[in-house]
Amino acid sequence: MIKGNNINIRIGSGYDVHRLVYGRDLILGGIKIPFKKGLKGHSDADVLVHSVCDSILGAAGLGDIGYYFPDSNLKFKDISSLILLEKCNKLILEKGYFIVNIDCTILAQSPRLEPFKKKMEQKIADTLEISSEFVNVKATTTENLGFIGRGEGIEARSIVLITTQSR
């Protein structure tokens, strides 16, 4: 809390990574991306949404996605990560917080994600019931370096700003 202004702002960061495998759909930001491989995971393995969930929970001091949605619980098997995101948003709203903005980066050698970024922003914003102008999705490669560069996995990072002051 900033004294004198009665403003309560908090920042949270999120990170997730999943292995690319054959036989799964590639879901990023709630959007099905045409690709020969998908991400392996207990849920739909949407690394972008998982990182956003962790950043939201972390900003509010509520732990992480694994605490609320453990991969040992069959209830979450193949669940859409957008449902998890919606639940994370409800948790912070109950504590009186509102999302100010979200900034994300996806690290993937392929597929090319530029054509899907605005759709991802809109899908995340719709799920959180905020304007898409407050969600930013970037994508980059690792210049063929490491496990991402070899096409073995995809990583996502996000940061969120929350406040108790509504817009």
pLDDT at residue 71 greater than cutoff 90 = no
Amino acid 27: pLDDT: 98
What average pLDDT score do residues 5-26 get? Answer: 92
Domains of the chain listed by start with CATH number: 9-163 (3.30.1330.50)
pTM: 0.93
Amino acid 1: pLDDT: 45
pLDDT at residue 38 greater than cutoff 50 = yes
Beta bridge partners of 139: 106
Is residue 141 a contact partner of residue 149, using CB atoms and an 8 Å limit? Answer: yes
pLDDT in tens, 74-133: 787 888 999 999 999 999 999 999 999 999 999 999 999 999 999 999 999 999 999 999
Question: Can you give the C-alpha Rg of the chain in angstroms?
Answer: 16
As a whole number of angstroms, the distance between CA 55 and CA 38 comes to 23
Is residue 134 a contact partner of residue 100, using CB atoms and an 8 Å limit? Answer: yes
Is residue 65 a contact partner of residue 54, using CB atoms and an 8 Å limit? Answer: yes
